[in-house]
Chain A
Amino acid sequence: MSGHIVPVKIYVAVFFSLLILTGLTTFAAYIDMGMTHIGHFTIDWNTVVALAIAVTKMLLVVLFFMHVKYSPGLTRLVVVAGFFWLAIMVALTLSDELTRGWEGHPKAWSTLLPFLHF
């Protein structure tokens, strides 16, 4: 009658995992993990690790503290849709922003360049 009751044990385990991950992400920031260049992209491994830990922490909070692991399918759908819409915004914006320099300007513009003030 009162929904799924999550044992206190699980809350405490999630709590300590979150604290450990916070320590880990802080510690990881002081290690230079370097960068990898692939084509036009640069992967900054420190940022990748920091975001991976943040996503893990978010999943722990969402699944256990926010009870999504025990929620009906409709609620889960809304949760996933919320993040999916965010992903659409980020992906489409970056597909523009990160690729602008790839092609340079059209050749025909070269004749105009001396007259253009950027």
Chain B
Amino acid sequence: MSEHSAQMVHGHSPALVHQFETEDQQREAGSLGMWLFLATEVMFFGGVFMAYIVYRALHLPDFIQGSHMLDVKFGAANTAVLICSSLTMALAIHAAQTGKSKSTIITYLILTMILGAAFLGIKFTFEWTSDWREGLVPGFHFTYGGPYASGVQLFFCFYFFMTGLHALHMITGLGLLTTLTVMASRGRFRAEYFAPLENSGLYWHFVDIVWIFLFPLLYLIGGRFGGGH
């Protein structure tokens, strides 16, 4: 090892691990790994979206009837809640990047968690609970006997599976945010090192994107004008 590189090894920040040349390289490698994981997540959700596309094409009037039984205002409100949470997440990372105090980072992280919990609260209490009361839960409590009953049941299978899978990702995200809050409170993040924040942020934004597609596909398909087709 030359004298020059030896000096670099000892002159760097303690956050730089020895297999990387620079902090930028270390951070880019980490974020590349996270994106590879997200590419597998795209395919994971993609399978469900593909099945949805095929069955929607096969049973369009049934899916429109099912969609009209969902409440648009909760879907739209939850979209707004998630967009707010993506902003606070981005601001938490921005705070770490620009070397703000740990209390600033923690404030943004906690705001993100509150918004994430609000999303799940709206989903579980206002939507799933009323779906249960109305007998729209296939396999457990499905009592709808109106037009297109069997196709509507299929739509609600997709609805619960897709929103359930998404909710599971939200819960995982809340777990990550809890960990990040503890790390931030221990002063682990600085302007030179915030990889866990940035990569968890990528995950959080990805989950937001899944909802950006779920909202029109589940709540708005075929338009909300008229009553079914």
Question: Which residues of chain B come closer than 8 Å to A81, judged between CB atoms?
Answer: 39
Provide the A56-97 mask, 1 if CB < 8 A to any CB of B, else 0: 011001101111000110110011011101100110011001
- How many angstroms between the C-alpha atoms of A85 and B53 in the bound complex? 16
* B97 touching A5, Cβ below 8 Å: yes
- B32, A61: Cβ atoms closer than 8 Å: no
B223 near A86 with CB under 8 A, answer no
Q: Please name the residue on chain A nearest to B95 by beta carbon.
A: A8
With most chain B CB atoms within 10 A of its CB, the pick from A12, A23, A61, A94 is A61
Partner of B54, one of A1, A6, A65, A97: A97
- A26 near B91 with CB under 8 A, answer no
Q: Does B72 count as interface, using CB distance less than 8 angstroms?
A: yes
Query: When A and B form their complex, what is the total count of cross-chain residue pairs whose Cβ atoms lie within 8 Å?
Result: 150
Distance to closest chain A CB from B122 (angstroms) = 15
A24 to B166: give the CA distance in the assembly, Å.
Answer: 23
A26 to B74, CA, bound (A): 11
Structural contact, B209 and A53, CB atoms closer than 8 A: no
Interface residues of B (CB under 8 A from A): 23-24, 27-28, 31-32, 35-36, 38-39, 42-43, 46-47, 49-50, 53-54, 57, 72, 76, 79-80, 83-84, 86-87, 89-91, 94, 97-99, 191-192, 194, 198, 201-202, 205-206, 208-209, 212-213, 215-217, 219-226
Can you give 29 A-B contacts (C-beta < 8 A)?
Answer: A1-B23, A1-B192, A3-B24, A3-B198, A11-B87, A11-B94, A15-B87, A22-B215, A25-B216, A29-B219, A29-B225, A30-B224, A32-B225, A46-B220, A54-B216, A58-B213, A61-B212, A65-B90, A66-B206, A71-B28, A74-B28, A74-B32, A75-B28, A75-B31, A81-B39, A82-B39, A86-B43, A89-B43, A94-B53
Measured CB to CB, the residues of A under 8 A from B are: 1-3, 5-6, 8, 11-12, 14-15, 18-19, 22-23, 25-26, 29-33, 44, 46-47, 50-51, 53-54, 57-58, 61-62, 64-67, 71-72, 74-75, 78-79, 81-83, 85-86, 89-90, 93-94, 97-98
